[in-house]
Structure 1
Amino acid sequence: MTAEAVAARTAVREVTLSPAARELRRELDLRWPAGGDRMHEIARYALLAPGKLLRPLLLVASAEATGGSRSEVVPAALAVEYLHVASLIHDDVIDGDDLRRGQSSVHALYGVPDAIATGDALLFRVFSAVAECVALGVPDTAVLAAVRVLAEAGEDLCRGQVQEAELAAAWPGAGGLEAYREMASLKTGALLRAACRAGALLSGGSPEETEAVTVFAGHLGLAFQMYDDLLPYLADPAVTGKPGTSDAANLRPTFPVLLAHEAAGPEDRHRLEQALGGGFTPERTFAVLREVLLATGALDLARDRAYAEIARARAALAPLPSGDAHGLLSAIADLTVHRDR
């Protein structure tokens, strides 16, 4: 086994088997027990699907790394997962994806109207969940600040979703790498930044500590989206839990495609533009994209760029004291670019 593979397995183990992850999973199960009405059933199905709970873990770890107590922020950590899962439910409706986290997507199983309504309900649950932290001893001013951060992140997430569609429509004109980074910073990075920043605010972390986890999460978000765009070409859908041809079917110029277009000669550029022009089946589109990405070395370059963002993320944690929480943040960073393992 290579050193990289060992590091990947170690990161997965540290994150998924951490005490914080076990506690969050247990708390989700308690709060969303089997039974109840249809909306409750749908929400439980979506929330307890196989997943690593990275965003709530980021909130808990950021709180603990900045001097806070896990027990005081668990409701807020779950709130981040509510927001994230709601966005996934709506994302799958938009993209028409029938697979999520290795099982049927919510709309594929329960229908589009009930999927949208349940996603909306989870968004409203975000705010009541964060408010629970007041009763656990968190100052109400800190809770208000966390609510504001999560609300702004939700808006930015939606803005990023719209920008993703604009990028696809503008490419290969204005939709280049700079536009991609802005979109990724919003669509993916906003909620990661909000999770870390809210955790530090709820814990009463210093301005320096709060800024450190926010900057960490900003680089983490870029790496996450960059690597997410690589997964269709690196891993089996059984591992990633979503269709490998989704981006191709939606004609998205993802990160490795943008890098390939920048590096390619006229013939390969034409092939990329033709593939994303809408005239091929998703399978044929994916096959052509993969051929050009391999020919131009864009897959390796994209992976290197994602790794570089993770290095910057880890460096941003320097102001934080060492300890279990710091280690968990580092492990989450490593896991971000090893999700094909």
Structure 2
Amino acid sequence: MTGGGGAAPATLPPRSGPGPLEPTLRLLRAELTRRCPQDADGVDALGNAAMLPPGKLLRPLLFTESAAVAGMDREDTLTAALGIESLHVGSLVHDDVIDGDELRRGRPTVVARHGMPNAIVTGDALIIGAFQAVAESADGRIPGERQVAVVRTLAAAGVDLCRGQVMEDELRADPGSGLEPYLAMIALKTGALFRAACVGGAQLAGAPAAVEESLRRFAEHLGRAFQMTDDLLPLLSDTETSGKSPLSDVVNGRPTFPVLLCWQRADAGERARLHAALTGAVAPEEALETVRRLLEDTGALAAARAEAAAEGERARSALLDLPGTEARDALAAVAELSVDRDR
């Protein structure tokens, strides 16, 4: 299976749901199961439990399909692609420690089940394991300089994740901070791994600079679309659908996209109620209900949904400069799924 070649058509194919992703997902799931044996113990067992059952595997999908766009066999990308997932899951384990969250993907978090020391070490091991996976990729069949380039990209993404976390803490419980700091923060905290997946896949395949740049632009818009949608999920879905408590963002005073839009649109009285809800002045359940009501009353909820969808379309449009292949169609499907999480 390869990415193939050919000239890009004027338009992308119609929206088709997750169908184009299934062949690559099967490969990734099989490799993930192989790399996470059930008889592991110690920190390996804790890490495997965090990795399995897997989520949507969006980042390894992006890595594999970005490499396939440049003509690389998907089977040769799997180890490095799952390194991206290891880095992602490790960062989530640490996020749950920071936020005190007890649910992740609808299951107890590592910190809730095994305590803070074990959660910190598990997150560390998963993050370090990402670099080990890239080093092991393709058993020497890939030129070493390509692997080094991917390692550098992953390392830069890891540092950006940390920068984004610090920025989020600085913006916490400040709905008046504005959209520009928020966009800068999500470009680091969320966008970093999307960029690393797309650019890293291109680097592993030895893609031309123009292809790498198109994938970078795709990833920038995709990261925005994904995080804007993620901010909406606790407000639109129950815990079973969103995979985490709907109270988490409110309790942690997190500066989410719809809340920032709400502040811009609100009058003085509405802003006072919003501030009280985000700073612990009222009980969490009442705070969540207040936020939901204000988002509806100000039109911020509808505006946030529209902008998330628009960013998804910008991501799809960035793919038009790439060869018209199955791999490109798969990347477009990832953009669709990032905005429409109910599929």
The match for 1:161 is 165
State the 1:239 CA deviation.
Answer: 1.0
User: 1:13, 1:19 → 2: CA distance?
Assistant: 8
Q: Deviations over 1:148-198 (max 9, x none)?
A: 0000001101110111110115x245x210000000100000000000000
State the 1:230 CA deviation.
Answer: 0.5
Which of 194, 197, 200 in structure 1 is aligned with 2:196? 194
The match for 2:229 is 227
Which of 41, 44, 47 in structure 2 is aligned with 1:43? 47
User: 2:163, 2:287 → 1: CA distance?
Assistant: 27
The match for 2:323 is 321
Cα pair 1:42 1:118 within 8 Å, conserved = yes
**1:216 aligned onto 2:218:** yes
Cα pair 1:72 1:136 within 8 Å, conserved = no
Aligned residues: 330
Identity %: 51
State the 1:39 CA deviation.
Answer: 1.2
RMSD value, Cα: 1.4
Show the 5 A alignment for 1:83-102. Answer: 83-102=87-106
User: 1:211, 1:326 → 2: CA distance?
Assistant: 14
User: 2:138, 2:235 → 1: CA distance?
Assistant: 45
The match for 2:64 is 60
- AA aligned to 1:79 is G
The match for 1:143 is 147
User: 2:20, 2:115 → 1: CA distance?
Assistant: 36
Q: 1:192 to 1:340 in 2, by over 3 A?
A: same
The match for 2:5 is none
Q: Deviations over 1:196-216 (max 9, x none)?
A: 000001111110000001110
The match for 1:4 is none
Q: Which runs of 5+ in 2 are unaligned?
A: 1-13
Which of 98, 107, 116 in structure 1 is aligned with 2:120? 116
User: 1:99, 1:136 → 2: CA distance?
Assistant: 39
Q: Which runs of 5+ in 1 are unaligned?
A: 1-6
State the 1:14 CA deviation.
Answer: 4.0
- AA aligned to 2:149 is A
* 2:321 aligned counterpart, secondary structure: coil
The match for 1:264 is 266
- The TM-score normalised by the length of structure 2 is 0.93
Cα pair 1:66 1:320 within 8 Å, conserved = no
**Of the two structures, which has the highest relative contact order with CA contacts closer than 8 Å and spacing of 6 or more?**
2
**1:127 aligned onto 2:131:** yes
State the 1:340 CA deviation.
Answer: 3.9
Q: 1:211 to 1:91 in 2, by over 3 A?
A: same
- The TM-score normalised by the length of structure 1 is 0.94
Cα pair 2:96 2:111 within 8 Å, conserved = yes
User: 2:251, 2:18 → 1: CA distance?
Assistant: 30
**1:11 aligned onto 2:17:** yes
**1:248 aligned onto 2:238:** no
